[in-house]
Amino acid sequence: MSRGYSAAVSRLIANQEQRYAFPAPDAGLQASMPHVIHQHFTVAGESRSLQAPAWGDYVGRILDFPVSRTQREFGFRGEIDTYVLSDMIYLDSRTDALSQSRTNARISRDSVRDYVFHVAVEGIMETATGTVKERKSAQFVPGILALDMGQSMHMVRPTWSRVLAFFLPRAMVEEEIPDAESLHGQVVGYTTPLTRLVLDRVTSLCHGLPTMQQEEAEQSIRVCAGLILAAFKKQSRRSAGAHAAIQTATRNQIRDFIEINLRDGELTTETILRAFPIPRPTLYRMFEHEGGIGTYIRNRRLREAAAELVTASHVSIMEIAYGWSFGSPSDFTRAFRRAYGVAPQDFRALGVDLLRN
């Protein structure tokens, strides 16, 4: 390693350590406050048939873990060490083959919205993300997998595996990486000096953490988390131009889809999400300047209805309301008045030229 590169690495580590340093507590409290709370869980003490269910009960707080007949019959090896810091969590998990998922139903029932970065130390993982067109991220080649706990996923580990996981607060990640939810399912490989440094530091953490003192353990976890964020931030910057072009094309496709289905009463946010494999937050942000996706659809319907009021005077207001998928003529009248300041019948009587508005 060159002297210049060594200096650059030292500066990067120092910057990450400074960024994730805690403010010093009061002197009287400092001695009694733990920097890292360590918890150990294992199913080894359970009978063979109860080992997998015990694991399911433990991870069931955030994940669905179906217990198979084989796991009940032959047992299941699983243990996990959890290191809790004030604003992040680090896990070291060792398990037999398993399948686990985080569904939309699960997401709707809890408030876990962290980002988690998985490092496969032993074994392999295949993770599918996306509800319509699945994107599979296979960690057969070592790397770091990013997952957004606010989005669905299904993970399979077909062999014994050891996985390290860094749970970082949503605000921390989104401060560093714009459009962070697009990280969901992405893998960063160990192909650059920065990512090879990540591998070196994470490997040292994995092997050395059990014997570290509190301060050293906290510092090591924070440095690794900072380096992982830096690696994904760098990758995100490289793909930002292409990502923006894809988003523009997708937004235009969604607008076309809305136009085609504008009269369909079944046209909703869920319909669009089923038709386009994008995260829900991304869809909302695409139409944020329009007041949201629901508001955009309603306003498009109102605009078409207003044009019909003027150009099709023989069609009743009730027919127009139902034709543009409003629940009732009164719902249509209230929405129309809010949008145009007058009732539909007055708008028609005035013969307003909609194209001037």
- 112-128 per-position pLDDT tens digit: 999 999 998 888 788 88
Q: Decide if pLDDT at 4 tops 70.
A: no
Q: Decide if pLDDT at 257 tops 90.
A: yes
CA distance 292 to 265: 18
For residues 304-330, average pLDDT: 90
Mean pLDDT is highest, among 128-142, 232-246, 258-272, for 258-272
Q: Decide if pLDDT at 236 tops 90.
A: no
Name the burial class of residue 191, with classes exposed (0-12), middle (13-18) and buried (19+) by CB atoms within 10 angstroms of its CB: exposed
Instruction: Give pLDDT, residue 243.
Output: 60
CA distance 176 to 221: 18
User: What phi, psi does 271 have (nearest 5°)?
Assistant: -60, -45
What size, in residues, is the chain? 357
CB 125 within 8 A of CB 105: no
pLDDT band at 351 (very low <50, low <70, confident <90, very high): low
CA distance 65 to 62: 10
Q: Decide if pLDDT at 132 tops 70.
A: no
Region of poorest pLDDT, from 75-89, 142-156, 274-288, 341-355? 341-355
pLDDT band at 352 (very low <50, low <70, confident <90, very high): very low
Q: Decide if pLDDT at 337 tops 50.
A: yes
Mean pLDDT is highest, among 6-20, 42-56, 197-211, 278-292, for 42-56
**Secondary structure E strands in 32-179:** 37-42, 78-84, 89-95, 98-102, 115-122, 126-129, 135-138, 143-148, 153-157, 161-168
CA distance 326 to 345: 16
CB 207 within 8 A of CB 1: no
| Secondary-structure breakdown of the chain: helix, strand, coil percentages, each rounded to the nearest 5 | 50, 20, 30
Q: Decide if pLDDT at 208 tops 50.
A: yes
Region of poorest pLDDT, from 137-151, 216-230, 270-284, 302-316? 137-151
Instruction: Give pLDDT, residue 12.
Output: 38
pLDDT digits (tens, 9 = 90+) for 26-64: 444 344 455 789 999 999 999 999 999 999 999 998 999
Q: Find where tokens 């070592």 sit.
A: 142
Tokens of 139: 């960690």
Residues forming beta bridges with residue 41, ordered by sequence position: 80
CA distances to 62, 167, 266, 276 from 257, in Å:
35, 37, 13, 10
Q: How far is CA 31 from the centre of its chain?
A: 37
Instruction: Give pLDDT, residue 242.
Output: 55
Q: Decide if pLDDT at 143 tops 70.
A: yes
Please give the single-letter amino acid code of residue 283. Answer: L
Please give the single-letter amino acid code of residue 177. Answer: I
